[in-house]
Structure 1
C-alpha cells in the first residue's frame, strides 16, 4: 500500500511525465485550503527533489498568495489508466515571476505561452505513494485550448490588465505578489 521516499525515483519521474493532469494544494495558516487542477503539459521534474510548473493566468491566484505566507505545497497525481497509484509530492515552493533572475532559465523548459503568469519552483521533501485502487479509469481525449486562446485574444497588455483586476489578492485578501510585474 502506501510508501514514503525521500526523492522522486526514475520510475516515479516516468509516471509523472505520462500524467495529463495533476492537483496542487496550498493554504496559509488561516486561509481557505486551495486545491487546483493543472494540465497543459505544465510540470517538469528537474531532479529527484525539485519540480517546476508553469502557472498560466486564470480566475484566481491563490497558490501565489499562499506561498508568500506559508511556502508549503502538495502536488498530487492519480493514475486514471494503467496500474492504480496515487503519488503525492510534499515540499516548499516559491513563485518566480517574469523579470526575476531565474525566469528565463526556468521558462525555457516550457513552450511559450501568452498567459504565463508564474513558475512555481518546489523543493520536494517527501514523496508518498498510495494504492489508488478506488480511482476510476478515465480516457484522455485531448487538451482544451480555450484558456490559451483567451490569453492570445487578450494580448500581453490585456493579460496585465486582468492581473491588475483579478489576480492581486486571494479569496481571503492575501496579496499574491503579481504587483511586481505590473
Structure 2
C-alpha cells in the first residue's frame, strides 16, 4: 500500500541519496506521442535542495525527449527503487524546468570543474507529491560500478 506526502520526509532524503539508479518519466500532451522513461544513475548527479526541490545533471547518450516534454508541459516523475536492503519504491511527482548548458542557472549549479562528462542540462524538479510503497516485487541486484 502506498503512502503519500506533500514533500520529502527526512528518511526519504537520506535513502534517495544512497541509491545508485533512478528513472525519469515524462510525457507529451499529444495523444500520438509516447511516454518516455529514462534510467539515470551516474554517481553524484542527483541533488536534494530541500523537501520540495530536487535536481539532477542530465547527460548526453540518448535523445532529448525529457527536455522536449518538460518544455512542452513540465510534467515529470522521478522514481527510485531499492535493489538492496529493505524493499522500497519512492516516486517524486513534480513540475520540471530545464536549465541548459551555458546558461547562468546551469553554471551556478554546476561550475566547470564539477561537470560530469557529457553534461548537457540541469533538470530542476519542484516536488508537489511524494509516494512510497513496499517494492516487494523488485529483485536484489549487486552494484558493479560506474
Q: Normalization by structure 2: what TM-score?
A: 0.93
Whole-Å Cα distance in 2 between the matches of residues 96 and 138 of structure 1? 33
Correspondence for 1:139 among 116, 120, 142: 142
Query: Over residues 3-48 of structure 1, what are the superposed CA-to-partner deviations in whole Å (9 max), with x where a residue is unaligned?
Result: 0011111110011011000000001112210000001021101100
Which of the two has greater helix per residue? Answer: 1
The residue that corresponds to 2:24 in the other structure is 24
- Alignment partner, residue 55 of structure 2: 52
Partner of 1:7 in structure 2?
A: 7
Q: Which ranges of 4 or more aligned residues in structure 1 deviate by more than 3 Å?
A: none
Residue 104 of structure 1 deviates from its aligned partner by 1.8
Q: How does 1:31-180 map to 2 (within 5 A)?
A: 31-41=33-43, 42-108=45-111, 111-143=114-146
Which of the two has greater strand per residue? 2
Does the residue aligned with 1:102 lie in a helix, a strand or coil?
helix
- Secondary structure of 1:117's match? strand
Structure 2 unaligned spans of 5+:
none
1:97 positional shift: 1.1
CA RMSD of the aligned region, Å?
Answer: 1.3
- Name which one, 1 or 2, has greater alpha-carbon Rg: 1
How far apart are 1:84 and its partner, in Å?
0.5
Q: What SS does the aligned partner of 2:47 have?
A: strand
Q: How far apart, CA to CA, are the structure 2 residues paired with 1:114 and 1:23? A: 20
List runs of 5+ in structure 1 lacking aligned partners.
Answer: 144-182
